Amino acid sequence: MTVLEQGQITIHTENIFPIIKKSLYSDHEIFLRELVSNAVDAIEKLKMVSYAGEFSGDTSNPEITIAIDAEKNTLSISDTGIGMTADEVKQYINQVAFSSAEEFITKYQSASDRQIIGHFGLGFYSAFMVAKTVEIDTLSYKEGAQAVHWSCDGSPSFTLEESSRTTHGTTITLTLQDEEKEYAEASRIKQLVKTYCDFMPVPIKMDGEQVNRQKALWRESPSSLTDEDYLDFYRYLYPFQEEPLLWVHLNTDYPFLVKGILYFPKLRPDVDVTKGQIKLFCNQVFVSDHCEEIIPKFLLPMRGVLDSPDIPLNVSRSALQMDRTVRKIADFIAKKVADRLKEQYNNNRQEYIRSWQDIGTFVKFGCLNDDKFKKQLEDIIIYRTTADLKPAESDQPAVEVQAEEGDAWKQVSSDSKTEGPSYTTLDEYLERNKARHENQAFYCTDSVAQATYVQLHKSQGLEVLFMDSFIDPHFISFLEREHTEVKFSRVDAEIDDKLIEQDKASEIVDPSTNKTRSEQIKEIFEQALNQPKLTIRTEALKSEDPQGTPPAMVLLPEFLRRLRDMNALVSQESAKFPDEHILLVNTAHPLIQHLTELSQSGIIQGEGKSPSAELADMICHHVYDLALMAQKGFDAEGMTTFVERSNRLLTRLTEQRS
Ligand SMILES: Nc1ncnc2c1ncn2[C@@H]1O[C@H](COP(=O)(O)OP(=O)(O)OP(=O)(O)O)[C@@H](O)[C@H]1O
């Protein structure tokens, strides 16, 4: 065989090979991605040459073959691409590849944080991270080209000789270093192909079988894809996970290239939302599972793929965050996500509502974090409401659906019966309730604990919004800042005047005691409960059926509740229910009315407490406990007292009946 050249690779840095071998230790596996990417490029280039009419051979069945020879400890990657002439090897491998690797290493070594995303830029020379010898056997597509064989043992010297290869394309053969033998295992290589090369546009074969999936759904035109295509792709990327709620297909060429499909998953409390799960690709080559620097923080819980050759990959992560293009891409993604949500809100309200529980968290988090995002979405934030909104009232536009492929879009009525609770925007709520309570919004943060209060508001025709997701406590403060003209009242903070009856009877002075009935009730409770920090208020709650209203309610004024929450936050303890609160006793309730009589009948008894006064006492405690239950759970001691008293009370009642 004719030796064409033996020579020295020009070195500018001291010696690049030991650095390549050692300093990128943790990511040795990326060599495969680099070599397979080069093979794909070579195949694409041949296709272009063929289009240009400069190559008449067959390019219809390109492929990349990976072969392992465990005995010889070699791994080879062959392509049916453009190949290289001897001059091209000298130029591209000895000079271009080398100088770009050198440049990369210099940059990498001086980078303060070494986390260079994806280690892009090392290219062909990354083979030396795992190989002691690298050989190239290549034949250019050009007429009459001579096949050549290049070999380099990791020192700066190489040999270039003629080869007997007869098919155009290139085979790169690595003789693995002893400590890199894992790359001579088929399972390891298959796993790497799946990770890095799964969506590369050329079949990659091992032992005659195609290993990569190849079809990169995000590169296809959205109009050619069905929902099932998107769902299948999601299932492929995230197997054994719940179905996604909604997806956004990004497909832009200008002013930067960004393609991708982002899915809204169902949020699960055990998922760490600060860790992105979006897969980053560069021209279908997998780069990283971590897109934290590229995706706006509030969209990190999204999943899917993002493919952009415009994201600089050979810079450190911190530099990436500062990069202008990356910031523009982040803004673009946020805008697209917002557009998609608006589209869903306008065109498929039912679905929007159905997934709101999960999507709402993204939206609210986004509004809290990003002003632009907020401006786009503030009008489509919805709240579950106690109002019964008929579809007509919720102002649903007709939906357009495409019936059959090729058919024109047709209008269908969207008023398929609304099931489940009604939802409203804040503006709709305020408008609807303008006449009754202008600029006032009632809300509930716990539909179970605050059920009595919600019921009371509802029975008096006051509409209550549910703000009970984990992000809502922050979101309410945000709403208050955004809508300073609106007063937001939690249902258990105070009792609106509209819920109270002007109860004349309770205000009549009883000549025997010289007190009004409300004053008497107040006194009975004060004496029985004997809690100086507790304020007792008496009101008659409005109702058609007083028996259906609660005999008493515990109110925690807004400012006290906030103070408590803040203290809890500072002291990192769970918030204790404050001793200062209000017990609102409902003078309209029959139980409370009986209580006055019961208590009075006891007064006649003289010394000590009469059995009826004792009973009245017990009932006061009991009524108070029942009211407290709606605000907080009991501790062990409270529970024991409550159960014990309940039993005593029941015993007493049965005694009296017998
Ligand atoms: N399998 C191949 N077939 C044909 N030419 C190749 C092949 N592998 C490498 N080359 C040539 O060698 C050059 C240098 O490759 P190298 O991987 O170092 O850098 P690159 O591909 O240009 O850029 P990158 O740093 O993104 O990988 C390529 O540009 C190409 O011309």
Distance CA 501, CA 23 (A): 80
pLDDT at 99: 75
φ, ψ at 263 (rounded to 5°) = -110, 145
| ipTM tops 0.95 | yes
User: Residue 89 C-alpha to ligand 1 middle, in angstroms?
Assistant: 10
Q: Which of 46, 65, 92, 282 to mutate to test ligand 1, by most ligand atoms within 8 A of the CB atom?
A: 92
- In the reported structure, the alpha carbon of residue 456 is separated from the centroid of ligand 1 by a whole-number distance in angstroms of 74
Q: CA–CA separation, 447 vs 461, rounded Å?
A: 17
Helix (H) or strand (E) holding 354: helix 349-354
Atom 9 (ligand 1): residue with closest C-alpha?
A: 38
pLDDT band at 66 (very low <50, low <70, confident <90, very high): very high
Task: Check pLDDT > 80 for residue 394.
Answer: no
The dihedral sign for the CA sequence 215, 220, 222, 224 = negative
Per the model's pLDDT, the better-predicted residue between 308 and 96 turns out to be 308
How, if at all, do strands 534-541 and 581-586 pair? parallel
- Distance between alpha carbon 271 and the CA centroid of its chain, in Å? 9
What's the pLDDT band for 398 if we cut at 50, 70, 90?
Answer: very low
Counted residue by residue, the chain has a size of 658
Q: What is the largest CA-CA distance in the chain?
A: 128
pLDDT of residue 656: 59
The proportion of the chain whose per-residue pLDDT surpasses 70, expressed as a percent, equals: 86
What is the phi-psi region of residue 14: left when phi exceeds 0, alpha when psi lies from -120 to 50, beta otherwise?
alpha
In this prediction, residues 15-30 reach a mean pLDDT of 70
Compute φ and ψ for 6, nearest 5 degrees. -125, 135
Closest-CA residue to 296 (of 216, 377, 371)? 371
How far is the CA of 191 from the CAs of 188, 384, 556, in angstroms? 5, 47, 59
Question: Above 70 in pLDDT, residue 528?
Answer: yes
Q: What are phi and psi of 34, to 5 degrees?
A: -65, -45
Nearest CA to ligand 1 atom 31: 92
**Residue 216 region by backbone torsions, left for phi larger than 0, else alpha for psi between -120 and 50, else beta:** beta
Distances (CA, A) of 142 to 82, 479, 574, 596: 8, 69, 76, 108
Q: In which residue are the tokens 């939906």 written?
A: 399
Is the confidence at residue 406, as pLDDT, over 50? no
Both tokens of 22, joined, read 């050692």
Could you tell me the distance, in angstroms and rounded to a whole number, from the CA of residue 92 to the centre of ligand 1? 7
In the structure, which protein residues have their CB atom closer than 6 angstroms to any atom of ligand 1? 34, 38-39, 42, 79, 81-82, 84, 92-93, 96-97, 100, 121, 123-124, 170
Predicted pLDDT at 397: 44
pLDDT of residue 271: 63
Instruction: Render pLDDT for 218-252 as a digit per residue (tens, 0 to 9).
Output: 999 999 999 999 999 999 999 998 999 999 999 99
Highest mean pLDDT: which of 83-87, 243-247, 523-527?
83-87
Reported as a pLDDT band with limits 50, 70 and 90, residue 189 is very high
> Ligand 1 centroid vs 436 CA: distance in angstroms?
73
Which token pair is 644?
Answer: 């014990």
Q: Which residue has the higher pLDDT, 523 or 410?
A: 523
Quick check: 335 pLDDT over 70?
yes
pLDDT at 653: 81
Most confident of 73-82, 244-253, 259-268, 589-598: 73-82
Q: What is the CA radius of gyration of the chain?
A: 37
Q: What is the mean pLDDT of residues 434-444?
A: 92
Half-sphere exposure for 653 (CA within 13 Å, toward CB): 9
The CA-to-CA distance between both ends of the chain, in Å, stands at 119
| Whether pLDDT at 529 is above 60 | yes
Instruction: Measure the CA–CA gap between 601 and 307, rounded to whole angstroms.
Output: 82
Closest atom, ligand 1, to C-alpha of 97: 18
Peptide bond into 255 cis (omega under 30): yes
Phi and psi, residue 630, nearest 5°: -70, -20
Q: Is the pLDDT of residue 412 over 50?
A: no
195-225 pLDDT, tens digit per residue, is 999 999 999 999 999 999 989 999 999 999 9
Q: Tell me which of 50-64, 547-561, 638-652 is least confident.
A: 547-561
Predicted confidence band of residue 9 (pLDDT cuts 50, 70, 90): low
pLDDT at 408: 36
Residue 399 reports pLDDT greater than 60: no
pLDDT at 451: 87
Nearest protein Cα to ligand 1, atom 7: 38
| pLDDT score for 429 | 96
Q: Which residue lies with its CA nearest to atom 30 of ligand 1?
A: 92
Instruction: Return the closest-CA partner of residue 279 out of 293, 266, 291.
Output: 291
> H helices then E strands: how many in the chain?
19, 27
- Averaged pLDDT score across all residues of the chain: 85
The answer to whether 55 and 49 have CB atoms below 8 angstroms apart is: yes
pTM of the model: 0.79
Q: Please check the confidence at residue 292 and state whether its pLDDT lies above 50.
A: yes
Please name the residue whose Cα sits nearest to atom 14 of ligand 1: 97
Closest ligand 1 atom to residue 81 Cα is 3
Per-residue pLDDT of 110-123, as tens digits, reads 665 555 666 676 78
How does DSSP classify residue 319? H
| Position 603 confidence tier, pLDDT thresholds 50, 70, 90 | low
Counting other chains too, the contacts that 119-124 makes at CB distance below 8 Å and 24 or more residues apart are 119/24, 119/27, 119/30, 119/314, 120/282, 120/287, 120/313, 120/314, 121/313, 121/314, 122/20, 122/24, 122/30, 122/34, 123/34, 123/38, 123/97, 124/34, 124/35, 124/38, 124/93, 124/97
The encoded tokens of residue 25 equal 């230790």
Q: Say what percent of the chain tops pLDDT 90.
A: 48
**What integer pLDDT is reported at residue 402 of this predicted model?**
37
Mean pLDDT of 418-428: 85
Position with higher pLDDT, 416 vs 366: 366
Residue 281 CB contacts under 8 Å (≥ 6 apart), including other chains: 199, 216, 260, 287, 305, 306, 307
Least confident of 22-36, 385-399, 501-515: 385-399
Q: Is the pLDDT of residue 155 over 90?
A: no
> What is the reported pLDDT for 63?
97
The rounded distance, in Å, linking the Cα atoms of 37 and 32 is 8
Q: How far is the CA of 37 from the centre of ligand 1 (A)?
A: 8
Average pLDDT over residues 600-613: 65
Residue 495 · residue 584 · CB < 8 Å: yes
Q: Which atom of ligand 1 is nearest to the CA of 77?
A: 1
User: Which of 30, 124, 125 most suits a substitution to test ligand 1, by most atoms within 8 Å of the C-beta?
Assistant: 124
The confidence score (pLDDT) of residue 403 equals 37
Of 303, 38, 80, 77, the closest CA to residue 211 belongs to 77
